[in-house]
Amino acid sequence: MPRDRLKVIVTRRLPKPVETRLAELFDVTLNEDDRPMTRAQLAAALKTADVLVPTISDIIDAGLLAQAGDSMRLIACYGSGVDHIDISTARQRGILVSNTPGVLADDTADITMALILAVMRRIREGSAHMQSGDWQGWSPSAFLGVRPGGKRLGILGMGQVGTAVARRARAFGMQVHYHNRKRVHASHEADLGATYWESLDQMVARVDVLSINCPHTPSTFHVMNARRLKLMKPTAVIVNTSRGEVLDENALTRMLRAGTLAGAGLDVFEHGQAINPRLRGLENVMLLPHMASATREARIEMGEKVILNIKTFEDGHRPPDQVVPSMLQ
């Protein structure tokens, strides 16, 4: 007999209001212990569910999708990034994929500015010194950083997050420059006071701070590679709150250790939790545990989008946030 309600499997714990609403609407299985699902568990979920709700840490490749059951018809991602899912294979198997865009721009931009300030003003070093109990009092030459005002900020990716970063940076008196796949409208540039660079090489060679805010796609993998990093000023700072794969982490580490880059603020990493140990030991680096979207408001809004996508699909319509392969180019 057919099920009365869609069977939905959620791979991690979500905010309580989101889980409660999911349970009211669907036949939901939650991950009670909140541990990442193994590959075998993900395969089992794909075999039995109508809808899977994964997070960005769940890798759903062609091999897993090949094991999906006939009832599996929607992967409703809890997150805006979908580079962890083989979208083309899902489409070939008749499985729709949706995400939760347009929620995280302000929160991510806040963390981006926090990282810029933390590195430029040496906040991590000052805090560690105070926590150690070694502070001997104020000194005119201690913990000298640089002020953001008047500095050139280069934004790689002028989408929603890049735009939100630009607005915040202007409030700190920074000059906004950007490189994007397509130049934004002139009125948008004027509103942000932003200067467009068609050449990424030329932009990175001239900015004091580079903020990475582009998605990870085949064309952006290691777009900030060793060659481009070497173009940057030795006094420059690089901040990444987008995707770790966009930045060559090993090359970055070498340059930071050699002093040919002044500092870095990272919220994302090329190999997930496997962070280069040489990177962790550097004083001129501020590392965060992928917390750019970690506000209660954002996580609940993400859940509401997931619910809307599932409910719209259940009603026989295209999910409002459906992702198709052409969107990832």
Distance from C-alpha of 96 to C-alpha of 50, rounded to nearest angstrom: 11
Give the predicted TM-score (pTM) of the model.
0.90
Residues 21, 114, single domain; the answer is no
The domain that contains 50 carries what CATH number? 3.40.50.720
Contact 309, 284 (CB under 8 A): no
The C-alpha R_g of the chain, in whole angstroms, comes to 22
Domain count, the chain: 2
User: Whole domain around residue 271: which residue ranges?
Assistant: 105-287
Asked whether the predicted pLDDT for residue 1 surpasses 50, the reply is no
Residues 282, 153, single domain; the answer is yes
Whether 1 is covered by a domain: the verdict is no
Whether 281 is covered by a domain: the verdict is yes
Residues 89, 124, single domain; the answer is no
Residues 38, 96, single domain; the answer is yes
> Strand ranges (DSSP E) for the chain?
7-10, 27-29, 51-53, 74-76, 96-98, 152-156, 175-179, 194-196, 209-212, 237-240, 263-266, 285-287
Residues 83, 169, single domain; the answer is no
Distance from C-alpha of 60 to C-alpha of 238, rounded to nearest angstrom: 30
The pLDDT of residue 180 is: 97
Residues 59, 114, single domain; the answer is no
153: β partners: 176, 209
The pLDDT of residue 160 is: 95
Residues 84, 153, single domain; the answer is no
Residues 90, 172, single domain; the answer is no
The pLDDT of residue 272 is: 86
Q: For 129-186, how does the pLDDT look when each residue is reduced to its tens digit (9 = 90+)? A: 999 999 999 999 999 999 999 999 999 999 999 999 999 999 999 999 999 999 999 9
Residues 114, 192, single domain; the answer is yes
The pLDDT of residue 2 is: 47
